[in-house]
Amino acid sequence: MSLALKNHIEKIVSLTDEEFKYVLSFFTKKKLQKHQFLIASGAPVQTDHFVLKGLLKATYTNDEGKQHILQFAMEDWWVTDYQAYFLQTNATLNIDCLENSEVLCLTLENREKLCRELQKIEHFFRIKTSMGFVAQQQRILSLLNKDAKGRYNQLLEQYPQLLQRVPKTILAAYLGVTRETLSRL
Amino acid sequence: MSLALKNHIEKIVSLTDEEFKYVLSFFTKKKLQKHQFLIASGAPVQTDHFVLKGLLKATYTNDEGKQHILQFAMEDWWVTDYQAYFLQTNATLNIDCLENSEVLCLTLENREKLCRELQKIEHFFRIKTSMGFVAQQQRILSLLNKDAKGRYNQLLEQYPQLLQRVPKTILAAYLGVTRETLSRL
């Protein structure tokens, strides 16, 4: 199944089997049950995660207890609390599983070591992060500009599979509408 | 003044004078007057920009003509329409000057060439983009969670100089409030 990671990296750089074996040796595999937490708010964040299987959601709960959904993650997506991971601080997000999931974990130390040793991997992460940056910018524009219907249509266009798998109540929370409004969309 | 770029890069990697001279040879300098456009919606986006001097704003205007402010950029910040730049498509944003400005321009071709030739620069852009990704994620959380007062306080804390320089009407637009509400904050 770690072939998924090879295919994912090779969308950006090609690796020999030797190189990929070496890259993979920096990752550890983790299995999680539905509802289990990958990242818990307040705890240190040791690893970034490449999703092999399953579906997760990253949420932020404010002082009044209101929960906001920052992102979903499914097969071939990366997910962690990036602020906490890069700055080595405690998580402000919770990340939990909407389905049984399997992820490959990479510590920051291993990520930096890999990038130093293999420029191909430094290149991969640079390009990957640039694309992530662009996607975040689109999310900001959609929050500034689009109403719930617009955000729903955008999601439907970009990630049709996601809409099939995310429970309706959670999808409504992501879009910032009630369950009833979602049914009308 | 291009010393500003050297100092900026050296917060992440150190460069010899030779290396920096080589890096700098990939950039071209551009001077812009207040109100002049650096990027015009609909036109191709050739370059990313490091701000040497001045203040710019990146905006998105929707089909109904409503303008949203995506970001500001001042000394030591990078700004372009990243979606258009990375995907080599036409701009969906406008970027114009709130003050007379000077920027260093880098084409995507030159950026990729520099990154291939000097791993230090590939490292620099990877780390820089990761930090940008984190900042965008914070912006998303602040849009999801904070009201105008919360967003104003966050801006005041992170970029006090910015608040001094941005005209109040534009600051109000950035926060999504009226000029009168801003005065009360």
Task: Render pLDDT for B138-173 as a digit per residue (tens, 0 to 9).
Answer: 989 888 887 888 888 888 888 888 888 999 889 988
Token pair for residue A60? Answer: 């932020």
Specify if B77 maps to a domain: yes
Q: In which band, very low, low, confident or very high, does the pLDDT at B1 lie, cut at 50, 70 and 90? A: low
State which residue of chain B sits closest to A64, comparing Cα positions: B145
Minimum distance, in Å, between the CA of residue A2 and any CA atom of chain B: 24
pLDDT at B145: 82
pLDDT at B159: 87
CATH number reported for the structural domain that contains residue B94 in this entry:
2.60.120.10
Residues of the domain holding A84 = 3-117
Asked whether the beta carbons of residue A130 and residue B66 sit closer than 8 angstroms, the reply is no
Token pair for residue A14? Answer: 């090609």
Nearest to A116 by CA among B122, B54, B30, B147: B122
Q: In what order do the strands lie in the sheet with B94-97?
A: B37-39, B94-97, B55-61, B67-74
DSSP assignment string, A116-152? HH-HHHHHHHHHHHHHHHHHHHHHHHHHHH--HHHHH
Asked whether the beta carbons of residue A137 and residue B70 sit closer than 8 angstroms, the reply is yes
Asked whether the beta carbons of residue A139 and residue B140 sit closer than 8 angstroms, the reply is yes
Is B68 in contact with B59 (CB distance < 8 Å)?
yes
* Residue where the block lists tokens 């640039």: A130
Minimum distance, in Å, between the CA of residue B33 and any CA atom of chain A: 27
pLDDT at B64: 87
Is A48 in contact with A104 (CB distance < 8 Å)?
no
Asked whether the beta carbons of residue B141 and residue A82 sit closer than 8 angstroms, the reply is no
Asked whether the beta carbons of residue A145 and residue B119 sit closer than 8 angstroms, the reply is no
Q: Which of B145, B146, B158 to mutate to test the interface with A (most CBs of A within 10 A)?
A: B145
pLDDT at A82: 97
Specify if A150 maps to a domain: no
Nearest to B161 by CA among B94, B99, B95: B99
Minimum distance, in Å, between the CA of residue A134 and any CA atom of chain B: 5
Average pLDDT over residues B84-89: 96
Nearest to B112 by CA among B92, B89, B85, B137: B85
- Residue A77, φ and ψ in degrees, nearest 5: -100, 155
Interface of A with B (CB under 8 A): 60, 62, 66, 68, 70, 82-83, 86-87, 115, 119, 122-123, 125-126, 129-134, 136-141, 143-145, 176
Asked whether the beta carbons of residue B137 and residue A134 sit closer than 8 angstroms, the reply is no
Specify if B49 maps to a domain: yes
CA distance A54 to A74: 6
Judged against a pLDDT cut of 70, whether residue B18 lies above it is answered with: yes
Query: Which stretch of DSSP H or E encloses residue A47?
Result: strand A47-53
pLDDT at A177: 83
Specify if B181 maps to a domain: no
Token pair for residue B74? Answer: 């001042």
Number of domains in chain A: 1
Asked whether the beta carbons of residue B136 and residue A133 sit closer than 8 angstroms, the reply is yes
Average pLDDT over residues B35-59: 97
Specify if A129 maps to a domain: no
Average pLDDT over residues B128-136: 95
Judged against a pLDDT cut of 70, whether residue B97 lies above it is answered with: yes
Query: Which stretch of DSSP H or E encloses residue B173?
Result: helix B168-175
State which residue of chain B sits closest to A68, comparing Cα positions: B144
CA distance B1 to B53: 9
pLDDT at A1: 64
Asked whether the beta carbons of residue A136 and residue B134 sit closer than 8 angstroms, the reply is no
Helices and strands counted in chain B (H then E): 9, 8
Nearest to A138 by CA among B70, B129, B175, B127: B70
- Residue A105, φ and ψ in degrees, nearest 5: -105, 140
Residue B78 Ramachandran class (φ > 0 left, ψ -120 to 50 alpha, else beta): beta
Residues of chain A with pLDDT under 50: none
Among the partner-chain residues A62, A70, A129, the one whose CB lies closest to the CB of B133 is A129
| Between residues B176 and B91, the one the model is more confident about | B91
Average pLDDT over residues B26-46: 97
Chain B hits for A82, CB-CB cut-off 8 Å, are 130, 133-134, 137
Contacts 24+ apart (CB under 8 A), A59-68: A59/A93, A59/A94, A59/A95, A59/A96, A60/A92, A60/A93, A60/A94, A60/B141, A60/B144, A60/B145, A61/A94, A62/B145, A66/B145, A67/A173, A68/A173, A68/B141, A68/B144, A68/B145
Specify if B155 maps to a domain: yes
Q: For residue range A113-144, list pLDDT tens digits in order.
A: 999 999 999 999 999 999 999 999 998 988 88
Chain A hits for B86, CB-CB cut-off 8 Å, are 130-131, 134
Asked whether the beta carbons of residue B144 and residue A139 sit closer than 8 angstroms, the reply is no
Among the partner-chain residues A82, A134, A145, the one whose CB lies closest to the CB of B137 is A82
- Residue A23, φ and ψ in degrees, nearest 5: -55, -50
Is A5 in contact with A50 (CB distance < 8 Å)?
yes
Specify if B47 maps to a domain: yes
CA distance A137 to B68: 13
Specify if A136 maps to a domain: no
What is the percent of chain B where pLDDT is above 90?
71
Nearest to B129 by CA among A61, A103, A132, A90: A132
Asked whether the beta carbons of residue A141 and residue B68 sit closer than 8 angstroms, the reply is yes
